[in-house]
Structure formats: structure tokens, C-alpha cells
Amino acid sequence: MSGSAGPAAAIEVVNASKAFGDVIAVSDLTFSVGPGVTALLGPNGAGKSTLFRMLCGLTPPTAGTVRVLGADARHDREVRGRIGMVSQQDALFDRLKALEFVTVAASTQGVTDGPGAARRALELVQLDPDESRPLSAFSKGMRQRVKVAAAVVHDPEVLVLDEPLSGLDPVQRRRMTELFHGLGAEGRCVLVSSHVLEEVARLGSRVVVIAQGRLVASGDYRELRALMDDRPRRIRVGVDSPRAFAAALVESGTAVGVSVGASSLIVDTLDAVALSRELAPLALRLRARLERVIPMDDDLESVFRYLVERR
């Protein structure tokens, strides 16, 4: 993956923007993705699904270009057969059984042995092809797996998977992640979106991060993680003697900033681990009652805010 399109790029997005009326969902995105698993990370509403819809041709970009395998999926029929998509929408043809649904997916992709391919795809996601219940009776996790089976049934070169792990239990998440890695190792381009940092950590080392429709970061996940570890952290400490606590933390150098309230203080620190180790002994030394320690910016939104602000 790189900032500019390379010869091996399966997905190329160049200055792509998408607006819905006055709302700009995606703004001037440029990146490319090659074979292997790449995670698209972004909070809810970041524009991930809109980007995926543009990649698959479901909606055209307002400006810029979006290419999959060198073609525009909206207008190029041949390339549509080389893409497998899991959309974020939960809806399926609910009256069909899983085997019927995936067979329809195979048939519409021109697979000659539709039922056979559908059976293999369902077994790949560990669903019983002979399940007699209709899809309407399936759990959220089972429906997600059916969607993945329908996306891989025609052996596509590019997989665009929008939050495919949502609704899965931990065991299924792990198995599905292994499946994606396997598909990536075979040379397919697998682009997986998520708004959960820990999921992305398991998905792979390459990430594209977007927030508010803009590219925030792209590259190796470990580099991104290091960026997040280096950022100042803000922690609320509930204590019955906040002034004394604040003075001691500033004196020790653990806190780079402190604001004191009536029964708590808010600490800015560059080393959250050291701070957490220091709090209990400090409370003992000051004979203070430590009531609670609450990280204030551990959520994904704050990570994105930090990344956006430091650009």
C-alpha cells in the first residue's frame, strides 16, 4: 500500500470525493491497496461504507477516480465479476435458505456448478449447507457468515468487506480473520473495514485510517500504534485531596498538565503506565482516599482526533 498507485495496486483511489447534497461523506481521498489484507479503520460515520460503495461502483464519486483492477466497477461488467463484497446492510433474501442464497450469488456470477460452489463456500465459513431454516431465522453472526460465503463463492480477486466481523462471537471472529489472512496470502486483495482498534490489530499490519471522510493515516499498523502510544493521555483521578495530589504529580514529572476540581483532578500525561503505577503509593503517602481512575480519551474517536490534529 502506498500514497500513490503502484503497478500491483488492485484498488486505486485518486482524489475521490463524495457529497450527498451539502453533506460531504468522503473528501479528496487518495490511496492504493495491493494484494494481501488491508484494514480500513474509521469511527462510525467516517465514510467507510460510502468509500466501499464507490469502490464497488454502487455510487459514483462526485470528484476524482476510483478503480478496482484498473476499471470502474460501475460501468465495467467484467470487473464486477472479480469483486466480492460484504455490505454493511444486514438484509438478505430472507425467505431463501443459506444454500439457496449463496447459490443465487454463484449463479449470478456465472459459476457453472452453483450449488457445489455454494456448498464449499458455506463450509468455508463453517455453516451447514443443509440447514433447513430460512435466513430470516438466522442469528446476526450466521447472517454475516452467509454474506461472506456469498462474497467468496466465485473466487474473486478483490474482496471488499464492510464490517464483516460485527455480530460474530470471539471464536468466529478468529476463524474469519484466519480466512481473510488465507485469502490474502493467496494473492487476493482483501480490504476489510472496522471501527474497532483491536479487530484491526488482528486483521493485519496494513491500515488505512479515515475520519470525517478524510485520509488520516495509512501505512503499517505498528507505526500507527506507536503514534497512539506516544500521544498525551488524559485521565480523571477521583480523590479526596485533589490539590495535594496534583502538586505531587507535577513535582514527580509524571503529569504534564493538571486541572483541579472539587473532588477530582484531570491529569495530562505522556506515560499513562507510569502514572497508574504511581497513583496508589502516592495515595498511601498522602493518606488520601483514591476513589476512581478513569481514562478520558481511550476511545477510538479520541485517537482519530489526535491523529487528525497532529497532521
Q: In what order do the strands lie in the sheet with 206-211?
A: 83-86, 158-162, 189-194, 36-41, 206-211, 214-220
Minimum CB–partner distance for residue 17 and another protein (Å)? 15
- Phi/psi at 9 (nearest 5 deg)? -70, 125
Can residue 93 be called a binding residue for another protein (CB under 8 A)? yes
Can residue 109 be called a binding residue for another protein (CB under 8 A)? yes
CB nearer to another protein: pick between 91 and 262: 91
Asked if 37 and 207 touch (Cβ cutoff 8 Å), the reply is no
Pairwise CA distance, residues 249 & 133, whole Å: 61
Residue 116: its H or E element: helix 114-124
Minimum CB–partner distance for residue 232 and another protein (Å)? 41
Question: Near another protein by CB under 8 A, which window of 50-58, 62-70, 137-145, 224-232?
Answer: 50-58
CB nearer to another protein: pick between 18 and 206: 18
Interface pattern 157-196 for another protein (x via CB under 8 A): -------------------------xx--x----------
Can residue 213 be called a binding residue for another protein (CB under 8 A)? no
Pairwise CA distance, residues 270 & 251, whole Å: 15
DSSP for 218-277, please give it: EEEHHHHHHHHHHS-EEEEEEES-HHHHHHHHHHHT-EEEEEE-SSEEEEEES-HHHHHH
Minimum CB–partner distance for residue 91 and another protein (Å)? 4
Binding interface with another protein (CB under 8 A): 53, 56-59, 73, 77-78, 80-81, 83, 85, 87, 89-93, 95-96, 104-105, 107-113, 117, 120, 124, 150, 152-155, 182-183, 186
